[in-house]
Structure 1
Amino acid sequence: MTVTVARHGAPGPDAERFAERLSERVARRIDALEESTDMIDYAFTSTLMSLRAHCAVDPRAAAVETWEAAVNAMQLGSALFAVTGVSEGTVECRVNRKMRTLPARGPLSTADAGTWLNAFWLAVICREQQRMTELCEIPLERLRSPEGQYDEYIYLWVDTLQTYWLRRPGLVEKLTATFEASDPSVARIAPRDLLQGLLYPPINLFYRFVRRDEEGFSPALVEALELHRAYWTLNEERAADIDGSIALGPLAIACLAYDGGIPIEVESEYLPKHLLQHGWLGEFPT
């Protein structure tokens, strides 16, 4: 039986125009990257906001504008790591419907494990296997935050995902270590509500996925979405934040499960249907 998890809140009267304005702003920032990539991390954040804004008004991702927002975010996430991986010359990247020559940026503090996870989730959602591979080939040490802003389990989690996708040995051991290090009694940096509401659920979902636990996957997905909703409705400020409109990590793991033949017996506007079921795949070059 399919379970429905309702999304919190409702789009305001100007939500559609807000999404359109964000898309226009994103296009300008992408164009500007051909002159300088110093603000590429800010541009990537803008594309994520644009995707979430479009999903807020188009919860099934039925409009081509929503798919385009997802593709732009995915392409820019990959471009961010491409230009920060080299310090000289240029990098060829497809972003916003065309190939672009972007100046090399060299190391950037925000090109870290947290940003990597968002870029990887987007590549999974867009079914961009080559980009997933390129992201997974980035050395883990390059993703370490110089400010020490993450608990160690974040790096273990990235290592686990890279190991899975590149079919390296040690997946079970690394996933087990990730579970242990993400326990609230061990993690010290991430606030408990953030850890339990947003950061841990994708790990639990991934565990169900790699075990091909068809009976347990959908209940775990329901729990992940309910925890997502609980986190984003803790107070009025969070409830009004566009970031809560979709559950990016759970959506990406659900995409892996869907493509792997695991039944997804959950419906939710946190999981836009046409992103989950890759309804727009092949509409234009990614």
Structure 2
Amino acid sequence: MTLLVPRHELPADLGSRAVELDKSAARNVERLESSPAGFRLAFGTALLAAFTHCGEDPRAVGLATWEAWVTATQVGSALFATSTATTGTVKCRITDEVRVIPATGPQYHSNAENWNNAFWLAIACGEPDRMTALARVPLELLRASGAEYDAYVYPWIATLQTWWLGGGELGGLLDAAIAGTDPEGLEGDDRDLMLRVLHPPMNLFLNYLTGDHARFNEALAQALQWHKEYWTRADGGAAAGNASSFVALAPLAMACLARDAGFPLTVESEYLPKHLVARSWVGEFDTIST
């Protein structure tokens, strides 16, 4: 039996929003070769464009939706490719062009939050080479961004990197990450964010690692319900129109991993665009060659 987790009501003008965000993302990408400091804006805009397309096209049926997701993935990967290099230039394919972007070394935008989003995008778009490149980004570079995060963030990233590269024991790292997301002792918005948004992907990942299909599906349904509750409760529901609410990005990445591993997924939701989970677009055209 399939469990459906319905999405909250979205604004009516998402089609026009998506078009404008595509234009803005394209302008920001064009500037990167002369001003790589613009990666922060370029990645943020591309990510919002991808989410907004899925708001309008919740099953990710349309080519424009896939192109927006590919662009966001390419920008996220390029952000870290240029940040890990300290001299010269880096060739990065973004949209249908190879861009020659100056190396920057660590920047504020090469932070843990952007790393997580870039990694989730690479998973969702079926890009293992990008996952490998991101998994090799040193934690020291993320810390050097100067952005401050809760203590659990770096063990969580280390868990994902170690898992993907197959380089060591995950138990201690994952335990430390999960312990750091314990909502006990937190209050108000911080507790709500931790309980409903930040902790669920770790629980999903644990069930993915153990191969427990039933628990994974239970955790996926709960993660989507909590995602919905978080965005509709925040600011009295005003945040429900935020494009970040349109797709549950981290649970989507976990659902893609589970599907690739042969898990029978018994949960469906517009928060998990069907054709991203099913890999319907992967391989339709080259997205990575330089």
TM-score by length of 1: 0.95
Alpha carbons 2:86, 2:104 under 8 Å: kept: yes
- Per the TM alignment, residue 241 of structure 1 is displaced from its structure 2 partner at its CA by 1.2
Instruction: Specify the SS of the correspondent of 2:152.
Output: helix
Number of the residue aligned with 2:177: 178
1:273 aligns with 2:286: no
Question: Judging changes above 3 Å, is the alpha-carbon distance between structure 1 residues 155 and 186 closer, same or farther for their aligned structure 2 residues?
Answer: farther
Residues 13-92 of structure 1: matches in 2 within 5 Å?
14-92=13-91
Distance 1:186 1:121 in 2: 29
Alignment map for 1:172-211 (pairs within 5 Å)? 172-185=171-184, 191-211=190-210
CA contact (8 A) 1:153 1:187 kept: no
Moved beyond 4 Å, runs of 4+: 145-148
Say if 1:129 and 1:263 are closer, same or farther in 2 by CA, change over 3 A. Answer: same
Cα distance between partner residues in 1 of 2:267 and 2:206: 18
Q: Distance in 2 between matches of 1:215 and 1:91?
A: 44
- CA offset at residue 153 of structure 1? 0.5
Could you tell me which residue of structure 1 aligns to residue 5 of structure 2? 5
AA partner of residue 177 (structure 1): A
Name the structure 1 match of 2:265.
264
Q: Match for residue 226 of structure 1?
A: 225
Cα distance in 2, alignment partners of residues 169 and 252 from structure 1: 22
Deviations 1:82-103 (A, max 9, x none): 1111232110001012211111
CA distance in 1, matches of 2:60, 2:11: 14
Q: Name 2:251's counterpart in structure 1.
A: 250
User: What's the counterpart of residue 152 of structure 2?
Assistant: 153
Q: CA deviation at 1:38?
A: 1.2
How far did 1:142 drift? 1.3
**2:282 is equivalent to residue 285 of structure 1:** no
1:233 is paired with a residue of what secondary structure?
helix
- 2-side partners of 1:59 and 1:266: how far apart? 15
Count of aligned residue pairs for this structure pair = 284
Contact in 2 for aligned 1:110/1:145 (Cα 8 Å): no
Report the residue type matching 1:281 in the other structure: V
TM-superposed CA distance for 1:110, in Å, is: 2.4
Q: Give the aligned residue type for 1:239.
A: A
Task: Select between 22-31 and 39-48 the one with higher mean Cα deviation.
Answer: 22-31
Which residue type is aligned with residue 205 of structure 2?
A: F
Cα contact 2:106–2:144 (8 A) shared by 1: no
Counterpart code for 2:165: L
Q: Distance in 1 between matches of 2:148 and 2:57?
A: 34
Distance 1:79 1:187 in 2: 36
2: CA distance, partners of 1:105 / 1:187: 37
Aligned-pair distance for 1:149?
2.3
After superposition, the CA RMSD in angstroms is 1.5
Return 5+ residue gaps in structure 1 as ranges.
none
Give, in whole Å, the separation in 1 of the partners of 2:96 and 2:105.
25
Greater shift, 201-210 or 80-89, is seen at 80-89
Task: Quote the sequence identity (%).
Answer: 45
Deviation at 1:30, TM superposition (A): 0.9
Measured after TM superposition, the shift of residue 145 of structure 1 is 6.0
**By how many angstroms is 1:11 displaced?**
3.7
Task: Note the residue ranges of structure 2 that are not aligned, 5 or more in a row.
Answer: none
Identify the residue that residue 241 of structure 2 maps to in structure 1. Answer: 240
8 Å CA contact retained: 1:151, 1:187: no
Please report how far the alpha carbon of residue 187 of structure 1 lies from its aligned counterpart in structure 2 after TM superposition. 7.3
Q: Distance in 2 between matches of 1:251 and 1:145?
A: 29
Q: CA deviation at 1:185?
A: 3.5
Give the secondary-structure state (helix, strand or coil) at the position aligned to 1:84: helix
Give the AA of the match of 1:110: H
> What is aligned with 1:95?
94
Equivalent AA in structure 1 for residue 268 of structure 2: E
How many angstroms apart in 2 are the aligned matches of 1:181 and 1:17?
40
2:111–2:147 CA contact under 8 A, matched in 1: no
Distance 1:186 1:254 in 2: 30
